[in-house]
Structure 1
Amino acid sequence: MSPKIKPRERDAIVQSLRSGVVPRIGLQHIQVGRAAEVKAMLADLERIKDGAASVRFVVGRFGSGKSFFLNLVRAVAFEKRFVVVQADITTERRLQGSSGHARALYNELMRNMATRAKPEGGALEAVVAGFVANIEHELNKDEMDLQIAISSRLEPLMEMVHCYDFIKAIQSYADGYATQNEDKKQAALRWLRAEYSTKTDAKRDLGTSTIIDDDNIYDYLKVLARFVSQAVYAGLVVNIDELVVLSTRLNHVQARTANYEMILRIVNDCLQGNASNIGFLFAGTDSCLEDRRRGLFSYEALQTRLGGPTQIAGYTDYSHPVLRLQSLTPEELFVLLLNIRRVFASGDDNKNLVDDDQIRAFMIDCAKRLGAEYFTTPRDVVKRFTSVLSILEQNPGAKFAELVESVPLEHSEEASLVSSEESPDGDDDLANFKL
């Protein structure tokens, strides 16, 4: 007998899948395949827990399940007691940039911070408060020794760049926590979320001499990873999606190069052992990685580190920094559609809207419309199937075959247009063109 699915999870899954996005909760109800990739990520998490670092590039075409895989790793990390921060790259939020672009990415990561207890995000205060509360409990609420104990617990951070003001922000939060000074606590959280835009304001409120800005977000991510490892967590996982924006939306060569240099720094640190308790997952398309004119491989040092075969003689090397998502098999896609049917029925097999034969007929129709490609982009098939079931649920008298015939199958296309803004540095090469 199938386990029941909570209404909240059911609605979140259905609404997300119908919109073509990945649900944040309930992934266990629909997950199929990717066993080898998940096993590789579990090995990474164990290394991070032991004080190492990891970097992976999850690569696949549009609709192949990259974002789903990132969220799956996120859910697995929760079970292993990791803190997870997650954000999408945009033209206004990126790893390197002026005018607050990098700070905006850091702020988004902090706002999306999640733990097993707070999987929907906004967990920064819970993590900091939990750290302070645990120390206070150990001291039996002796306020005089709280700051000393915090300094002692955070001593492993002292060797890191930019550690002093980070520690000062934690101590300010602890002081506000002990004295019930809400303003002081919120000021500390603002600093930790990179919401201070000037050093003057931060110094006035907290006494810090620096702020988290465009030039130091990576250094502070490493400090944060060390901090959470001191706060009863296994480490920090950083999920960054939509890496394709860097190659398709940034027309300025210097802007792309600056971001690729930051990625190179992350890769070098993780592969050479210069970072600890932190793992990075970047998700992007094949062309975002391999395009020699605008992609990551346009930066020679990244091509050297991330190039090379991931498959040899039919065998996949899952220790390679690049994880190429393979297409779902027909059997796996069938199981995925069965799982979606079960979600609609809230786990009650007696309430299934369609039978197995109808699902097979649906897959045959998709194959006729897309050919063999429909296995490579499960998002398109899932979105269409979810739309059909939604209509069928609202109109019990509707004919399944007629709905399948009427509901279109949208085909995910890789972004073929680059921003039309003129590049002052003359990078006007044609990136892609489709008629």
Structure 2
Amino acid sequence: MTTASNRIRPRERDAIIQSLRAGVVPRSGQQHVQVGRAQEVGALVRDIERVVDGGATTRFVIGEYGAGKTFFLHLIRSVALKQKLVTMHADLAPDRRLHATGGQARSLYAELTRNTSTQAKPDGGALGAVVERFVSQSLTTARERSTSTEAVIRQRLGELSELVGGYDFAEVVAAYWRGHDTGNEQLKSDAVRWLRGEFSTKTDARAALGVRTIVDDANFYDQLKLLSRFVRMAGYTGLLVCLDEMVNLYKLTSAQARSANYEQILRIVNDSLQGTSAHLGFLFGGTPEFLMDTRRGLYSYEALQSRLAENTFATNGLVDNSGPVLRLAGLSQEDFYVLLTKLRDVFASGDPAAHLVPDDALTAFMQHCSQRIGDAYFRTPRTTIKEFLNLLAILESNPGEDWRHLLGAVRLEAETNPDLEPLDEVQEQPRASDDDLASFRL
């Protein structure tokens, strides 16, 4: 019998199933299908607590292609939201990088701000709400002190002046208040657009807001540090930035472009290790090739290789989850069996009486998959999950059909890792100048 505690809402149930059948991570409800990796989750929960306490952290979540890195990052984001952090996430792509000279870093920043979430707005688009919360708190404080709200805002934002870009950041937030106070929706909109990195020219920003700078390729990381301070002022506990598909840096055909991006990563790592960032966490998701390839990966950059070197004692089954690199082991067969039971339960909306297949079907399904593709069915389970849900969908649409008759129709192919495809080394034009690269060296 299903109870209120284990019932899964139809909307959440459908979102989980549709996402997994499409081979993508569901935006919510990950807790219903999470299995294993308790130690890895625990390590990152401690990182979140460090950010809440005013520290900084940088982690590289490394796992084989299809091992569930993206799902894991989404799960950690949901944990961070419950701890009242603001989270941002984006996938790197050819037009979205950490460093560039053609707008790609600003594009990454704009994607991050579009995917800004809070516990009240977990699906993104929360940056405007964060600013509104800060302004509302300032308004309350001004009333208590019998002073002007703008004076309170400027006083609260005064500490940002020590950071790069802090003055203009404060001016933009003050402009948002003026729009709020006068009912000027255009001014409020322009302020949020500036904070989202949507102004492409300084001329437009100056005309709209009276500031001389915009978010661009050169100040991408500095702007994130400003936001980490700002969200604290708005009453949140910190900022967590999740960047997935880091392998797209590994795939850059220009050695100079890769080096410049690795310089930016080095800067983030150094700030985290040296304690010069506050209330700010970074999670980078990538494959072993992105990390360890000494020709194109992070290990090709000597300073990063030394900082990310793994504990030499972590061998023969021993693990160290306290270092900057967190390796995601593949699921075990036992974990995968538990996963199938959870997927079956989600499909039944949490009602055991509505299960479409018995326990025997789960074991038979695993045996069939093992015969088709070997251990890959549970170590890199994306395709296997899709096929299992497809099987349940057929049974749901055809009541009375015997699952045994359908099992032989399950067709699986082991996933191939596109990161291992040969990549040519060419030079990208225009070339980055020595001054451009030197500005990111520590």
What TM-score does the superposition give when structure 2 sets the normalisation length? Answer: 0.92
**Equivalent residue, structure 1, for 2:434:** none
Conserved 8 A contact 1:251-1:421: yes
Conserved 8 A contact 1:113-1:124: yes
Amino acid at match of 1:113: T
- Bigger drift between 140-149 and 363-372 goes to 140-149
**Equivalent residue, structure 1, for 2:244:** 241
DSSP-derived class of the 2:224 partner: helix
Amino acid at match of 1:305: R
Q: Note the C-alpha offset of 1:301.
A: 1.0
Q: 1:242 to 1:25 in 2, by over 3 A?
A: same
Match of 1:60 among 60, 63, 86: 63
**Equivalent residue, structure 2, for 1:283:** 285
Q: Map of 1:329-408 to 2, 5 A cutoff?
A: 329-408=332-411
DSSP-derived class of the 1:74 partner: helix
Q: Note the C-alpha offset of 1:314.
A: 2.9
- Bigger drift between 193-202 and 140-149 goes to 140-149
The question of 1:218 aligning with 2:221 is answered: yes
Gaps of 5+ in 2: 430-442
Q: Note the C-alpha offset of 1:404.
A: 2.5
Separation in 1, partners of 2:104, 2:240 = 21
Q: Note the C-alpha offset of 1:164.
A: 0.8
Separation in 2, partners of 1:158, 1:347 = 52
Q: Map of 1:114-263 to 2, 5 A cutoff?
A: 114-140=117-143, 145-248=148-251, 250-263=252-265
Q: Deviations over 1:137-177 (max 9, x none)?
A: 23339996111111122233221111111111111111111
| Percent of residue pairs identical | 51
Conserved 8 A contact 1:228-1:235: yes
Conserved 8 A contact 1:92-1:101: yes
DSSP-derived class of the 1:331 partner: helix
Q: Note the C-alpha offset of 1:401.
A: 2.6
Conserved 8 A contact 1:143-1:178: no
DSSP-derived class of the 1:158 partner: helix
Amino acid at match of 2:155: S
Match of 1:300 among 299, 302, 305: 302
**Equivalent residue, structure 2, for 1:36:** 39
Separation in 2, partners of 1:94, 1:273 = 24
**Equivalent residue, structure 1, for 2:439:** none
Separation in 1, partners of 2:422, 2:189 = 40
Q: 1:407 to 1:110 in 2, by over 3 A?
A: same
Separation in 1, partners of 2:18, 2:398 = 18
The question of 1:268 aligning with 2:270 is answered: yes
Q: Note the C-alpha offset of 1:103.
A: 0.3
**Equivalent residue, structure 2, for 1:431:** none
Separation in 1, partners of 2:428, 2:227 = 37
- Bigger drift between 167-176 and 409-418 goes to 409-418
Separation in 1, partners of 2:402, 2:101 = 56
DSSP-derived class of the 2:64 partner: coil
**Equivalent residue, structure 2, for 1:414:** 417
What TM-score does the superposition give when structure 1 sets the normalisation length? Answer: 0.94
Match of 1:325 among 315, 324, 328: 328
DSSP-derived class of the 1:97 partner: coil
Q: Note the C-alpha offset of 1:346.
A: 0.8
DSSP-derived class of the 2:60 partner: strand
Separation in 1, partners of 2:218, 2:407 = 52
Conserved 8 A contact 1:32-1:335: yes
The question of 1:78 aligning with 2:85 is answered: no
Gaps of 5+ in 1: 426-435
Q: Deviations over 1:256-298 (max 9, x none)?
A: 1111111111111111111111000000001111111111111
- Bigger drift between 97-106 and 416-425 goes to 416-425
Separation in 1, partners of 2:334, 2:159 = 50
Separation in 2, partners of 1:358, 1:99 = 54
- Bigger drift between 315-324 and 85-94 goes to 315-324
- Bigger drift between 374-383 and 33-42 goes to 374-383
Aligned residues: 424
Amino acid at match of 2:86: V
DSSP-derived class of the 1:215 partner: helix
Q: 1:143 to 1:283 in 2, by over 3 A?
A: farther
Q: Note the C-alpha offset of 1:34.
A: 1.4
**Equivalent residue, structure 2, for 1:433:** none
Conserved 8 A contact 2:93-2:245: yes
The question of 1:94 aligning with 2:97 is answered: yes
Q: 1:128 to 1:96 in 2, by over 3 A?
A: same
